[in-house]
Amino acid sequence: DAKVRMRLLEPDSFSKNTSMTALEFHVDVNFPEELCWIMSNGLIDSDTKTEQPMDLRQWTETRGKGITEAMIRYTDRGMTEQGRVVIVFFLMSKSDIDIIAEVFYFFCTRLGLSSIMVLTTSEQTLDAWMRVVQHKYRRDDIASRAVVMPVEHIGFVVNQLKGTSHGTKCYVRCSTGADAHLDFKAKKGMQDLDILSVTQCDDTITEIHGDQKEIDALKTESELNFYRGNKVEWWNFFFDQTAKRDVYNDLDRHINNAIAGSQAQKIPVSVITIHHQPGAGGSTLAMHALWEFRRKCRCVIVNKSQPNLDTANQLMKLYAYKETDLQKCIPVLALVEDIEENTFCDFLSALSSVFGQRETAQPACIVLYCGQTEMTSQHKKKLPTVHLSLKLSLREQQWFRAKNHQLEAREVPQNLEDMMSFNLFKKGFNQDYVRRTVSKYLEHVNPKELELIGYIALLNFFLANSRLSAPLCDNFMPGGQWWERRLSEAAKILLLKEQALKSSIGAYRLKHQKIAEETLNQAMSCGQSLSEMTCTFMMCSMFKGRTYAVKELMEMMDRTLKYRPWKRMSQKTEHVEKNTSDANTRDDDNEYQEVFSPLIQRIFNLEGYDAVVQILKKWCEVKKQVQQYLDPKKVHDDPMIRQQIARVYLHVGRYEDAHSWADEALMLENSSYLLDTKGQIYKSEFVALKKSDNYDRQRVTDIAFKAIDIFRQAQDINRREATGFNTAPYFGELFMSFELFDLVYNSTSNDPVTLRAFLLTKTDPPKFVLDVWGTYTEQLRDLVLNIRNSMDYLSEIQTIYKKDDKIAIDDSESRKLQLGKRKLKKFIRDYIKYFGEYDESPPNYIRQPEDICEWRRRKVMSLGGDIFQKVFDMARDGSYDKLRDIRQLLCENTPKTCFDLQNLIVVSLALARDESPGESILSYKQVFKLCEEFVQLVHDHEISRLKAFFYVVMLMWPRKEMVIEFNLSTFKEYMKTLSEMGKSSLFQRGNRHGGDVSDFRRAKRVYFYLGRGQGLHAFIHTTQISGDQRGKFPFWEFPQAKSLLRRVNGRLMGYDTIHAVNPFNPNKPIQVHLAKPETERFVDRKPVNFILGFSWSGPLAFNVLDGHVPEENPEIAERFVFEREQYADVGSAFGSMRLNDWQMPSATASDCSGVQQRFRHYSDVHQRKDIRQSRPNYRTPTGTPPQETSGTRRIRCEECRHIWSVPAYFTYFYCKTPDCKAMICINPSV
């Protein structure tokens, strides 16, 4: 029943890879996850290419080399175990027999005739074959390895090899209600999917002509296999042999709700989570849903261990198969199980990208995610979730009792006591029953079988979904490759043979998680401890070999020792509270990451830390030996095991040993993660010493600064690492810094003002500080700036690495981001407690210009002006006075740092909601100048540089009414840099295991859209569109969006590319990527219009519609007609801000601009033209309402009923009445 994909390979595939090792070749051809069909003499396939057959002479000269290399590869012990491989020759005709015979001789020499099978379609073909090869082999021996069968039966054998169930025809339901036959070529392109046919099982019943005996035999066989513990099959649902669990009603409701869809959301992919305890029947529940919905959806099981973009494309092909209108197709219902959360997040991102944006309420794909990982409370709010436990309801227990009576009455040919899986459910997983049953069967196994069963139980219990490949036991068990035939009946009852995770070869596991747990306990009852059993397992012969199976076993053991799961409990256990420095905790959700893997934690609890250390040391030796077997050229020591040993010693407070092992790990790899462990050791040592009554202040301070130094080294290395953003060193530095400040303030509490003056300025340290902190005075002062830089970086990470709201599954990295967000809030509160500024003017001890600038920055932080999202939240809540205070503080700083420029740009964009272009103190032109200056600065980190290019690209987007000089070449350079940064390792943080990158790492989240306004009003932040309802609708459906957002014309040039019209030179368009690829209506150079969004990785096109929209009337740009005394007021208001720096407009024609002229076809530079108009004047209505003139119009606020006179060209206006601030849409038709 193995579900294995097949792959066509030609001779050239092998002759090009002669330098590869066996394992490298195994990865390249994906064997044995995919069965390899080698076309030894040509291939005629209209879907690929045509290779004509050759005669023996031509074949020997051209294709023979590749075939010889293939034969060498597949008979190498690094690829296959002798006795574990079958070479099948398909002889469909008498032609090419001489060529096939050459291949036959080679395989017989390498593997022996017992590993060969020959399938022919006629006795004449077989006779011709025997005449060719009989001079080397006896006819009787050849005949014993040959089978003659019709072509149809050969097709059935191929389907069995692929794991296809009975019945080769597959039908899928269409939107019209008809069933479409899924032809061979279409199905061949969907090998990652097991497609459930609408007529599943019906075809087989038809084929056997309704023979009741055959049906009864088939029914009994499928039922007993399932009750013995085998995986559920479609036959079990066809014959109604499964219990419908109570939670199925909830699952049914969730799926029906998803099919109905939501007019508000219109999401392409909907996710339903099935969380189940191990062995509770999660897969059976999910497959039951597929069976029931096969006539409402196109149901599939994703069979690939790591689904990717290619898998998503296959789902798209199935969705669109034999359909004409892709917006009316019925959804695909896809089951995804037994994959890691990180992989699932990446797969969801690929699905969302492939299916694109929906125009209808119904989603295109509904994903059932079936996993044993417990979902957090955050998931419950976002995802429809079904929880399946081992505990059965009364109705479910009655079903099992009734089924047991039926089996007894039917007198089935199987001892009911041996149907272990069925009896576990019938008994309600009673622990006494489990203990008695396991004990009964273990008494009847021999010592070697008991040892094997114990090792399998060890893997099954501590590593979910693990299996032990059968070939690994050939040298371990008596009987060699035939050991399975000699297994006792008791062992066969306990063990279950299935397909290995990444192989077509069988693998063994215990029949249930409860059985594995009890078997492990009883296997150790003879006096062997868990650590001794683990060591014995590591040293056994299974780890000695050079096949792919040994490599997989090594990876499983590695994960068993290293992987630390996330847990959620109602109350923290004692060991978590003790080790918050080394364990990630989340207080509000009661969620934490374990300190060690489950196996290591169990050994630690039962036997102590010495046993854990011995296990890890032994694994260091064994892993190196395994690598020597696999590939002597790639032998290396594993630094992460040494890190684990260091963490064990850290956990028990043996800091010297912890330092020693951390140093050993760092000698092997200078990684930020290993350096962070070193820093954590110092950190724990500091906390332990500080808790003592009479600690040595000098020693404590030495340790603190050592920890801070190590954390900073880890930060520097992490910025250069290609994978894995690592925030732990930043939080480590912040923790140690604030602990030090707490120590300093407590020890010098007699004069906190003088101490604060010393820390925040360059004044000489006071005597009481020198007496206590002598040699560390300068380092203490440096901490203030360093911790602010660290908080800035962490705040940037929270802004950049936001995951898409529609991707509702949190993987481990996303959890760490959420945890970091909470930690950061605490440290910001600590910073403000020590260094916050709330006075209107600097204190007396701050006199130097650079100290005053730092005072302003601290005051900005105290006001919350350094946090991107908080600034726009203030604008949304109407806190404009606070934003103006922040802007004033930042404007006064000279020279400006990255902190000043970035936050000044953000605050200016936020204030645009409240200020008309004429009222704004910083004009669009001036803010753009800030952006250019921001780009030119030397940045502290990549994220700051990314933001600089993001702002300059956004403000420079070409519009007719823009007032700045537009240079197309410069603009394209900025866009190119931003795009390259979006593809760099900056956005692959957290993806340490390779593969596709999740949405929150791609950082394609959009914060601004191009609007119809002028100046800074042309950039609409998301809070202006949807307020608190983000994620409930496609944003363009909001009334505010329809009135605020501008539609841009362009041409669709590819599935994911649009050439946007350049208003200054139509011959030189601007390339924009689609937010969701256009997979439904792609036409080359098709005219379209779209909404333009600005993301961290570049501009994106949303809501792409057919045709061009009429060109909007250009709105007159910002007016800068100020009186000279008004300029002087601006200068005095901002202190050190010099007017010359801002280039205020003069009376020359080159400074102000209005409607921009078209310029020459081949010019990249847009020059400005001056059309000066007076500045709009807004008055509070008193007395006679303002009169309407040719250049103004009167409007009434529907909220406060006040009448205003505004320029005629305005399309919207914010009411200026205090406590109103309503937005008035002046020209709804635009």
- 870-887 pLDDT, tens digit per residue, is 999 899 888 999 999 999
Q: What is the pLDDT of residue 120?
A: 86
Residue 101: predicted pLDDT: 82
The three-state (H, E, C) secondary structure of 679-693, written as one string: HHHHHHHHHHHHHCC
Mean pLDDT of 769-789: 84
pLDDT at 812: 58
Q: What is the pLDDT of residue 882?
A: 92
| For the ranges 24-28, 167-171, 599-603, the one whose mean pLDDT is highest | 599-603
Q: Which of 800, 816, 731 is nearest to 941 (CA)?
A: 800
Instruction: Say which residues have a Cβ less than 8 Å from residue 1004's Cβ, sequence separation at least 6.
Output: 804, 982, 1075, 1095, 1096, 1097, 1100
Q: Which of the residue ranges 307-321, 476-490, 896-910, 1154-1168 would you say has the lowest mean pLDDT?
A: 1154-1168
Single-letter code of the amino acid located at 929: K
688: nearest Cα among 739, 754, 749, 639? 739
Average pLDDT of 3-30? Answer: 56
Distance CA(1109)–CA(1090), nearest Å, equals 9
pLDDT at 1173 over 50: no
pLDDT of 1170 > 60? The answer is: no
Which helix H or strand E contains 1227, and what residues bound it?
A: none
pLDDT, one tens digit per residue, over 906-919 is 999 999 888 776 66
| pLDDT computed for residue 743 by the predictor | 84
> Which sign, positive or negative, has the C-alpha torsion 1073, 1077, 1078, 1082?
positive
**Exposure pattern of 62-77 as b/e (b: 16+ CB <10 Å)?**
ebbebbbbbbebbbbe
Q: Identify the pLDDT of residue 646.
A: 95
Report residue 155's pLDDT band, with 50, 70 and 90 as the boundaries: low
Q: What backbone torsions phi and psi does residue 374 show, to the nearest 5 degrees?
A: -70, 130
pLDDT class of 1230 with cuts at 50, 70, 90: very low
- Ranked by mean pLDDT, the top range of 360-364, 476-480, 856-860, 1150-1154 is 856-860
The SS3 call for residue 585 is strand
The pLDDT, as a whole number, for residue 1007 is 84
- Confidence grade of residue 484 (pLDDT, cut at 50, 70, 90): confident
> Which value, in Å, is the radius of gyration of the alpha carbons in the chain?
36
Highest mean pLDDT among 71-75, 339-343, 977-981: 977-981
Residue 271 main-chain phi, psi, to 5 deg: -120, 130
pLDDT of residue 909: 92
Q: Which residue, 650, 657, 709, 654, is CA-closest to 680?
A: 650
Give the pLDDT confidence score for residue 1134 in this predicted structure: 34
Q: How far apart are CA 429 and CA 426, in angstroms?
A: 8
Placement of tokens 């046919």 in the chain: 197
Across the range 588-604, mean pLDDT stands at 79
Look at the alpha carbons of 440, 445, 447, 451 in this order and tell me if their dihedral is positive or negative.
negative
Report residue 997's pLDDT band, with 50, 70 and 90 as the boundaries.
very low
SS3 of residue 756 by DSSP: helix
C-beta of residue 279 within 8 angstroms of C-beta of residue 262: no
How far lies 66's CA from each of 21, 39, 110, 1142, in Å? 16, 11, 17, 71
- Given a cut of 50, whether residue 1159 has pLDDT beyond it is no
Tokens standing for 1027?
């307020």
Residues 292-305 pLDDT 10s: 999 999 999 998 87
What pLDDT is stored for residue 367 in this prediction?
A: 93
Sequence-distant (6+) residues with CB within 8 A of 666 are 639, 674, 675, 678
pLDDT in tens, 792-801: 888 888 777 6
The whole-number pLDDT of residue 690 equals: 87
Token code pair at residue 20: 């590869």
pLDDT for residue 976 is more than 80 = yes
Mean pLDDT of the chain: 78
- Is pLDDT of 584 > 80? no
Q: List the structure tokens of 884.
A: 């103006």
pLDDT over 70 at 590, yes or no: no
Residue 1182: which pLDDT band, with cuts at 50, 70 and 90? Answer: very low
Least confident of 608-617, 1109-1118, 1129-1138, 1207-1216: 1129-1138
Let me know: does 1059 contact 1051? Beta carbons within 8 Å.
yes
pLDDT of 642: 94
Arithmetic mean of pLDDT, 206-212:
72
Q: What is the pLDDT of residue 532?
A: 92
Q: How many of the other CB atoms lie within 10 Å of CB of 417?
A: 11
Per-residue pLDDT at 1175 exceeds 50: no
From CA 13, how far away is CA 371, in angstroms rounded?
Answer: 37
Centroid of chain to Cα 337: 16
Q: What is the pLDDT of residue 89?
A: 83
Token pair in block for residue 203 = 């075809």
Please state the rounded mean pLDDT for residues 233-241. Answer: 91
Average pLDDT over residues 676-691: 93
* Distance, CA of 256 to CA of 1015 (rounded, Å): 48
> Which span out of 186-200, 287-301, 684-698 was modeled with the highest average pLDDT?
287-301
* Residue 47 CA: distances (Å) to CA of 50, 180, 185, 186, 195: 9, 21, 8, 11, 21
| Per-residue pLDDT tens digits for 543-579 | 987 777 888 899 999 999 998 887 665 443 434 334 4
pLDDT for the residue numbered 146: 86
CA atoms of 1119 and 1108, how far apart (whole Å): 31
Q: What is the pLDDT of residue 1114?
A: 42
Cα distances (Å, whole numbers) of residue 1122 to 115, 491, 660, 1127, 1174: 93, 93, 70, 7, 9
| pLDDT value for 821 | 80
pLDDT category, 7, cuts 50, 70, 90?
A: low
pLDDT confidence bin for 225, thresholds 50/70/90: confident
Give the DSSP H/E element, type plus range, for residue 1021.
strand 1019-1021
Residue 1069 has pLDDT above 50, yes or no: yes
pLDDT, tens only, 436-460? 989 988 999 999 999 999 999 999 9
Number of Cβ within a 10 Å radius of residue 319: 22
pLDDT of residue 54: 72
Whether the predicted pLDDT of 673 surpasses 70: yes
Residue 820 — very low, low, confident or very high, per pLDDT cuts 50/70/90?
A: confident
pLDDT band at residue 750 using 50, 70 and 90 as cut-offs: low
Q: Any idea which of 104-113, 616-625, 699-708, 1139-1148 has the lowest mean pLDDT?
A: 1139-1148
Residue 86: pLDDT over 60: yes
* Calpha distance 1230→1211 (Å, rounded): 8
The predicted structure's pLDDT at residue 264: 56
Give whole-number Cα distances, 12 to 15, 51, 66, 701, in Å: 5, 12, 6, 66
Position 1140 confidence tier, pLDDT thresholds 50, 70, 90: very low
Edge-to-edge strands of the sheet including 591-593? 566-568, 591-593, 585-586
Rounded to whole angstroms, the Cα distance separating 1098 from 1071 reads 10
| Closest-CA residue to 987 (of 729, 802, 793, 819) | 802
Average pLDDT for 588-603: 78
pLDDT at 1185: 47
CA atoms within 13 A of residue 693's CA, in its CB half-sphere: 0
Task: Say which residue the tokens 């003056």 belong to.
Answer: 757
Angle ∠(917,922,928) on CA atoms, nearest 5? 95
More confident residue, 397 or 203: 397
Residue of 167, 386, 192, 180 whose CA lies nearest to 300: 192
Nearest-angstrom CA–CA distance, 53 and 59: 8
Q: How far apart are CA 492 and CA 490, in angstroms?
A: 5
Range 621-632 average pLDDT: 85
How far is residue 438's CA from residue 1128's CA, in Å, rounded to a whole number?
A: 91
Q: Which of 132-136, 927-931, 1023-1027 has the largest mean confidence?
A: 927-931
DSSP 73-124: HHTSTTT--TTS--EEEEE-SSTTHHHHHHHHHHHHHHH-GGGEEEEES-HH
What is the pLDDT at residue 910? 92
Q: Calculate mean pLDDT across residues 532-553.
A: 88
Q: What is the pLDDT of residue 124?
A: 86
Per-residue model confidence (pLDDT) at position 679:
96
Among 43-52, 955-964, 1128-1137, the range with the most confident prediction by mean pLDDT is 955-964
pLDDT confidence of residue 996: 40
pLDDT band for position 281 (50/70/90)?
confident
